[in-house]
Amino acid sequence: MKKLKPQPFEVKRVAALAMILQMLHFSRGDEMRWPLGICFFILLFVSGCGQSSALQEVIDERFMMDTLVKITVFCEDKQQGKAALEAAFAEFERISILTNRFPQGNGSSALGDVLLANKNSGLKPIKVSNDTVAILERCHYYEQLSGGAFDVSVGPVMELWGFGGSQRVPTDAEIKQTLDLVGYQKILLEPQQKTVYLTKRGMGIDLGSVAKGYATDQAAAVLKKMGIKHALINAGGNIYALGSKADGSPWRVGIQDPRNQQGLVAIVSVKDAAVVTSGDYQRYFEEAGVRYHHILNPATGKPAREVMQTTVLGASATDADILSTILFVLGPKRGMDFVQGIQDTQAIFITPDKQITMTNQLTKQLEFTGADGYRIIHDNS
């Protein structure tokens, strides 16, 4: 099968050294249930990494894009590091405003591209930024490639379920009616004119499955431009490791047990790569003992059920963010067939019966922890 190159945003090989600790992830002021720890629990094992004594560690973390973003840089001058961190966080804030489908809750009057496009659905095209054009073009590429398993026009259905507000299980009739507003083909993007038009009144774009990945890539590019050669970014489970450890060895990243916030199911070794996870524990509510999570199948308007968690490894956090959602919707069988057509991309699937499926190359990178009840069922070539 011909490999399709994901055309990642610029990623250069540099060394990195950092440790991401467990973090607390809050929802948008609602009562949605979240695990006490970060949705994607990452441990970076850094003992014996050969860090140079001349380098100084500078760390900052801020709550933005509905998650705790933590950035660690190593540099010779702390002032340089602090300035670089400010610039990187400014990128997260800038992308957050552009891509947020909700009004800013900090008193800001800024209206982003997505919010304006949604407000003007069925009325008129909206002028958008270069970043929004780039994001929507990338999304459209994967919308077509996945046959609609990924679709950013799913916003109205997200609102119907109350993700971002008061959660409830809608009726089948309500879902069917709302699905009439869904369909990436109804989004008219004109890259040359830099406009986007949602052709039906009531349509809405939701970039929650790509925005943090794109912001992570942009923040990494800013750090590099400011002379930072050693850095690690964690945007709520969107991990971007720039290069390897200082001694050239890979980073060891723990993959969370989706049913035990303190546990790991595996440890994966990565260099110069993004690691992104989508899980049914990240944003959900329960009704009558049933878990309803936010990763919706655009075809049915209901939560995808074949897996509990997917993890994607690749060069671009943007692509990995999108792909983790696609694979979650497709499930392990169709998802495995799909991801093997994407160049330089690896994936892990965890099903509700605790079976782990992964792409063949990961057998050399992944260490299974033997967590209770989990087992690897096969490795695909």
**Which range in 24-28, 181-185, 257-261, 377-381 is most confidently predicted, on average pLDDT?**
181-185
How confident is the model at residue 99, as a pLDDT? 97
- Which tokens go with 338? 């799909």
Strands (E) located in the chain: 56-64, 67-75, 126-127, 187-190, 195-198, 230-235, 238-241, 251-257, 260-270, 273-279, 284-287, 290-293, 296-297, 302-303, 309-314, 346-350, 355-359, 366-368, 375-380
Contact 272, 44 (CB under 8 A): no
How confident is the model at residue 364, as a pLDDT? 82
Q: How confident is the model at residue 341 (pLDDT cuts 50, 70, 90)?
A: very high
Q: How confident is the model at residue 107 (pLDDT cuts 50, 70, 90)?
A: low
- Which tokens go with 92? 């997260």
Three-state SS annotation for 86-147: HHHHHHHHHHHHHHCCCCCCCCCCCCCHHHHHHHCCCCCCEECCHHHHHHHHHHHHHHHHCC
CA distances (Å), origin 80, targets 20, 56, 229, 232, 367: 21, 10, 12, 16, 37
- Which tokens go with 317? 């956090």
> Which of 104, 106, 99 shows the shortest CA–CA distance to 138?
99
- Which tokens go with 44? 């970076």
Which letter does DSSP use for residue 24 in this model?
Answer: -
| C-alpha distance across the termini of the chain, in Å | 12
Q: pLDDT of 109-154, one tens digit each?
A: 568 999 999 999 999 999 999 999 999 999 999 999 999 999 999 9
How confident is the model at residue 338, as a pLDDT? 98
Q: How confident is the model at residue 189 (pLDDT cuts 50, 70, 90)?
A: very high
**Run of H or E residues at 319:** helix 317-339
Report the Cα 135 to chain-centroid distance in Å.
13
Q: pLDDT of 371-381, one tens digit each?
A: 889 999 865 44
Does the pLDDT value for residue 284 go beyond 80? yes
Helix (H, G, I), strand (E, B) or coil at 317: helix
Which letter does DSSP use for residue 2 in this model?
Answer: P
40 burial via Cβ count (<10 Å: 0-12, 13-18, 19+): buried
Which letter does DSSP use for residue 305 in this model?
Answer: -
How confident is the model at residue 136, as a pLDDT? 99
Q: Which residues make beta-bridge pairs with 43?
A: none
Helix (H, G, I), strand (E, B) or coil at 208: coil
Q: Is 206 labelled as part of a ligand binding site?
A: no
Contact 295, 278 (CB under 8 A): yes
Q: How confident is the model at residue 248 (pLDDT cuts 50, 70, 90)?
A: low
How confident is the model at residue 232, as a pLDDT? 85
179 burial via Cβ count (<10 Å: 0-12, 13-18, 19+): middle
Does the pLDDT value for residue 35 go beyond 50? no
Q: How confident is the model at residue 299 (pLDDT cuts 50, 70, 90)?
A: very high
**pLDDT-wise least confident of 192-196, 277-281, 343-347, 371-375:** 371-375
Q: Is 325 labelled as part of a ligand binding site?
A: yes
Residue type, 184: Y
Q: How far apart are CA 378 and CA 371, in angstroms?
A: 17
Look up the CATH superfamily of 110-198: ApbE-like superfamily (1.10.3980.10)
Q: How far apart are CA 235 and CA 378, in angstroms?
A: 31
pTM value is 0.85
> Which of 33, 34, 51 shows the shortest CA–CA distance to 244?
51
Helix (H, G, I), strand (E, B) or coil at 286: strand
Count of CB atoms within 10 A of residue 36's CB? Answer: 9
Q: Is 321 labelled as part of a ligand binding site?
A: yes
> For 184-200, what is the mean pLDDT?
98
Q: How far apart are CA 257 and CA 96, in angstroms?
A: 29
- Which tokens go with 265? 């199911």
Taking phi over 0 as left and psi of -120 to 50 as alpha, with beta for the rest, 323 belongs to alpha
Q: How far apart are CA 89 and CA 28, in angstroms?
A: 20
